[in-house]
Structure 1
Amino acid sequence: MGKYDFDAIIDRRGTGALKTDALTEFFGRGDLRALWVADMDFAVAPAIQHALSQRIEHPVYGYASVPQSYWNSITGWLKRRHGWQVNRDDITFVPGIVKGIGYVVNFFTRPGDAVLIQPPVYHPFRLVPEGNGRRLVENPLIPTGNGYRMDLAGLEKAMAEEKPRLMILCNPHNPVGIQWDEDTLCEVARLADKYGVIVISDEIHADLMLYGNRHVPFASVSDAAARVAITFGAPSKTFNIAGLVSSWCVIKNPELRDDFFKWLTVNEFNAPTFIAMQATECAYNQCEDWLDEMLQYIEGTIGAVETLVAELLPQVRVIRPQASFMIWLDCRGLGLDHDTLIDRFVNHAHLALNDGAMFGTQGSGFMRLNIGEPRTVVLDAIRALAAAVR
């Protein structure tokens, strides 16, 4: 038993949680185990709850200034955890990474411009450009025996022929959980620099590295990467504080950064709330031990899932993540068409997972399982699925 209790079952129903209180809206029924939305059902680190409680006790919630200590907590974390040197001028606040992607799409591109993505991938990478009238270009990942790899030849072909203004990179990759290696990221940077493509690097899962894997910040791999990169990150997934909306954006290249940061500032898109600042400082400065213990717990859950799936559902392949608390399940061995697969999960097993097809047509036959839960909840879900399949 560690310092923190990740086995505690916490009922979130009735708190306005998207994960539990929107089940009927998204799945047509509310009696499901909620294993979909990418937040965890673990209690936040006590230090965060204490810091917020102390601040909330003050009876005035007025406009907030941004202390230097807030920026120091982020840059110190990036240096300490990932070996990445970020200066104060390189960074600004954004109120959520998807919003940040929307800001970049609207500032750097015009309707009809091409935006490149690599499915199967986090669905807002498709929804945000398309919803803003941009043209989507896909360079699908190539399946391998234990995951996926980038199609770098296809990437160059797409950049040369389709001439995208932006590429959206997921690093580590969601939903697959891959941390791209340095050589791959260097080649992405070389191609982007060659063809004049700005690369948005979504690194929200960077702190959730598993099994001794190391996060490689895209902007750090080469001078070319630093020239083309717009990096987004946050403490939200790391410390289970997504509802507080505290994200950040790093741009090393002043030719990309200066006008964009000015635009964010004059429109007050980059003004953090005092609650976001309080939680971020506390998380990055005081809660690293909570994170390390949580990641050990997640690794134990992955192992338990692999064992139980092999025993009860040998037709399903568990793709072990290198990062994050999500598992990409290859369910094609069940021999079910995609609609029937979803029906088995929802209406027979009473489970709410993310439908793999939402990440692109390449995800058909797959499901994304959130294991940021007490282990008993996750294993009971596997047993329920096995019974439903039988």
Structure 2
Amino acid sequence: MKSTIHVLLSALMICTYSSLDTTDPAKDSVDDRNKSGYTYTVNISKINSKYSEIACTTFRNKLVLVSSKKIGGLGNGVDPVTNEPFTDLFCTDIEAYGKLSQPLLFSRILNTKANEGQVAFSPDEHTIYYTRSTRTNSLNYKLFKAELEKDSYGNWINEMELSISSDDYSIENPHVSSDGKHLYFSSNMSSGFGGFDIYKAEIKVDGSLGHPENLGSTINTSEDEKYPHTSKDGTELFFSSKGHNSIGGYDIFISTVTNADYKIPRNLGYAVNSEKDEVAFIFIDHKKGVFSSNKDNENNAFNLYRFQSRAIYQELNGIVITEDDRILPNATVVLLNGEGQEIERQVTSNDATYSFKIKAFEDYQLKVVKDGYKDYSLKFQSEESQFKAILKLSSKVSYNQK
């Protein structure tokens, strides 16, 4: 005769959070609207003019931007929509802390008498995706691509309009993901949720685009969403929106991307956003970048701002004990991200405690492994100031009886 005795034990994991004070609070204070998980130090750029400067992306360690300034520009006239001259593409050298030199025309091949919009490059910088509107219909941008002639400094060839362009809607703000697999853009095509929405399309081997995919109602609202920009590792999407309870006009938001799923957008706070418009937030490297805002310009033109970001981390401390208050040393506690990928693991010490450094406002999972017990896991978000949970670990002991 065989019988199995199941002994159910439980472990209480008490988790408390405390911020790691490793930054200068005068520079890195976090206001109550900043839920991004970062602090930002912001300075206005010295290259601004009386006209708008809006950043696009980087190319060969230069910042490419769209501006109405006419330093060597092509054509003349004023766009009746913006009351500024028609725009051209410019570029500027990037120096320490994102300091920028005075801009020069980016390309006399791509700059025309029309309105030049934002551009994006493939990871190898051999393909450019660019937008352009005519003088007679400056609100309707169409999407083009061109290739960089081999061994040339800047001779763009094989220019062509892409098939997703239309006279019925505008395509703006292209951005290529760092892996080169997707082109993000904004559009007011009729399939959206209202106004401009953010879309992405697969980039095929030949550089053509697949069918556009709307990012969905978590990102897009009945208001306008524009200027998508993804982090280098693809885990974060930054964009501008008039929705999501913005402070005013366009605010810049961040959404965590997990398994191709976009989490609820979070505001970057008052260090970046204002009651006016903030747009075109892009990273130059992993922590430095630029964005544009009309908050300090009486003519409502967009000025360029430089920023440095700093991730906010918290200390996650805990202890593993049994249901009858016995501590469990030598238990393995594994910290995983929202996608279930392991970040770090620790073996509890003699007092059964552990400690992890985690990023604010992110999804995590804790997994406990102990010989004689079943594995147990718990999902949580790091935005809570305190966190307590009982993790029940079960042990099975078999006895053979005849």
TM over 0.5: no
Structure exhibiting the larger radius of gyration computed from Cα positions:
2
Q: Which has the higher strand share?
A: 2
TM-score norm. by structure 1 comes to 0.25
Higher helix share: 1
